[in-house]
């Protein structure tokens, strides 16, 4: 049905956001130009997800409304599957080292999930999860 799915994120400063997501280990999507108004990354290894970054004024132009104030509410929560609890903790550390904020430190939940979360430079929330389905109750 669909070839790809893209998330279009508003950002205040393309260069700072490109630096942040590069430090996170996201792969630059070279099919799209990196300019002062837009950039693109792939997320994931299996079925890759395309993340497009647009400067706030640019995305407001094609969305037809103002960018959400992420300091007052959550517009979306991105969840990324991790291979292990250690990878969750490593990604949280990368986010913090790159200038992000940890809102949920790594921890176990329900005996079969391990996760944590960070906030990027523009207030978008990201959730990292390792799920061991062999430990999941019926």
SS3 content of the chain, % helix, strand, coil (to 5): 25, 35, 40
Does 78 or 1 have the greater pLDDT score? Answer: 78
pLDDT at 137 over 80: no
Give the tens place of pLDDT for each residue, 61-106: 999 999 999 999 988 899 999 999 999 999 999 999 999 999 999 8
**Average per-residue pLDDT for the chain:** 92
Tokens representing 104 are: 């949920």
Q: What is the enclosing helix (H) or strand (E) of 15? A: helix 14-24
Q: Is the dihedral of CA 97, 22, 37, 124 positive or negative?
A: negative
- In this prediction, what percent of the chain has a pLDDT beyond 90? 75
User: Which domains occur in the chain, in start order?
Assistant: 1-64 (3.10.180.10), 75-138 (3.10.180.10)
Find the mean pLDDT for residues 15-20.
Answer: 97
Cα–Cα distance for residue pair 72/83, rounded to 1 Å? 32
CB 88 within 8 A of CB 130: yes
Instruction: Name the pTM for this structure.
Output: 0.89
Please spell the DSSP secondary structure of 24-63, one letter per residue. Answer: HTPEE-TTS---SSEEEEEE-SSS-EEEEEEEHHHHHHHH
Find the mean pLDDT for residues 35-61.
Answer: 90
């Amino acid at each position: 049905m669909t070839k790809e799915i893209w998330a279009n994120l508003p950002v205040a400063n393309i260069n700072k956001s490109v630096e942040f997501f590069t430090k996170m280990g996201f792969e630059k999507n070279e099919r799209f130009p990196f300019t002062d108004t837009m950039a693109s990354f792939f997320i994931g290894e299996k079925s890759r997800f395309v993340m497009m970054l647009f400067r706030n004024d640019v995305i407001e132009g094609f969305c037809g409304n103002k960018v959400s104030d992420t300091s007052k509410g959550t517009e979306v929560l991105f969840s990324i599957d991790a291979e292990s609890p250690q990878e969750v903790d490593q990604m949280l550390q990368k986010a913090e080292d790159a200038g992000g904020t940890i809102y949920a430190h790594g921890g176990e939940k329900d005996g079969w999930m391990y996760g944590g979360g960070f906030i990027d430079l523009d207030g978008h929330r990201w959730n990292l999860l390792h799920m061991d389905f062999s430990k999941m109750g019926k």
